[in-house]
Amino acid sequence: MKPHFSHSARTLQWALVAASLCMLQSAAAQNEPTAHSETASPVQQEIPVWDFTLGGTFKSSDLAKLPGSAGLAPVVGLQYGRWKLGIGDGSEWLRFNSFRKDSSLDYRWLDNRRYSLSLSMQLHTLTSGEGSDAPEIGQHTVRGRAVGNIAITRRWSAGVAWTQDLLGKGDSSTLGLGVSYIWPMDPQSEMILNGGLSWATAEHWRHAYGPLRQGADTLRTGIDSWGLGLNYKHRIARHWAWFASLSLSGDAGPLAQLPGLHSARAGQLGLLYFHR
pLDDT digits (tens, 9 = 90+) for 154-186: 999 999 999 999 998 888 999 999 999 999 999
What is the average pLDDT across 212-229?
92
Buried b (16+ CB within 10 A) or exposed e, 33-69: eeeeeeeeeeeeeeeeeebbbbbebebbbeeeeeeee
Q: Which helix (H) or strand (E) holds 12?
A: helix 5-31
Give the per-residue pLDDT at 94: 64
Give the per-residue pLDDT at 24: 36
Percent of the chain's residues with pLDDT above 90 = 45
What is the average pLDDT across 29-41?
39
Which distant-in-sequence residues (6+ apart) come within 8 Å of 178 by Cβ? 99, 100, 158, 159, 160, 194, 195, 196, 197
**Distance from the Cα of residue 203 to its chain's centroid:** 21
Give the per-residue pLDDT at 112: 83
Give 192's strand partners: 182, 231
Higher-confidence residue of 28 and 58: namely: 58
What is the average pLDDT across 44-71?
86
Instruction: Please give the Cα distance from 42 to 59 (Å, whole number).
Output: 48
Whether residue 253 has pLDDT greater than 80:
yes
Higher-confidence residue of 12 and 119: namely: 119
Q: Give, in order, the Cα–Cα distances in Å from 132 to each of 21, 123, 135, 185, 241.
A: 30, 11, 8, 29, 23
pLDDT digits (tens, 9 = 90+) for 93-127: 665 554 445 567 889 888 887 888 989 998 887 76
Whether residue 41 has pLDDT greater than 50:
no
Whether residue 7 has pLDDT greater than 80:
no
Whether residue 87 has pLDDT greater than 50:
yes
Whether residue 17 has pLDDT greater than 90:
no
Q: Output phi, psi for 224, to 5 deg.
A: -125, 5
Instruction: Please give the Cα distance from 170 to 167 (Å, whole number).
Output: 8
Give 196's strand partners: 178, 227
Domains and CATH numbers, the chain: 5-30+50-275 (2.40.160.40)
Q: Give, in order, the Cα–Cα distances in Å from 201 to each of 74, 132, 171.
A: 32, 18, 9
How many C-beta atoms lie closer than 10 Å to residue 103's C-beta? Answer: 17
Give the per-residue pLDDT at 123: 84
Specify the range with the lowest mean pLDDT, choosing from 41-45, 81-85, 116-120. 41-45
pLDDT digits (tens, 9 = 90+) for 193-217: 999 999 999 999 998 888 778 889 9
Give the per-residue pLDDT at 93: 66
Round the average pLDDT of the chain to a whole number and report it: 79
Higher-confidence residue of 8 and 87: namely: 87
Residue 255's nearest CA partner among 211, 233, 223, 231 is: 223
Give the per-residue pLDDT at 27: 40
Confidence of residue 192 (pLDDT cuts 50, 70, 90): very high
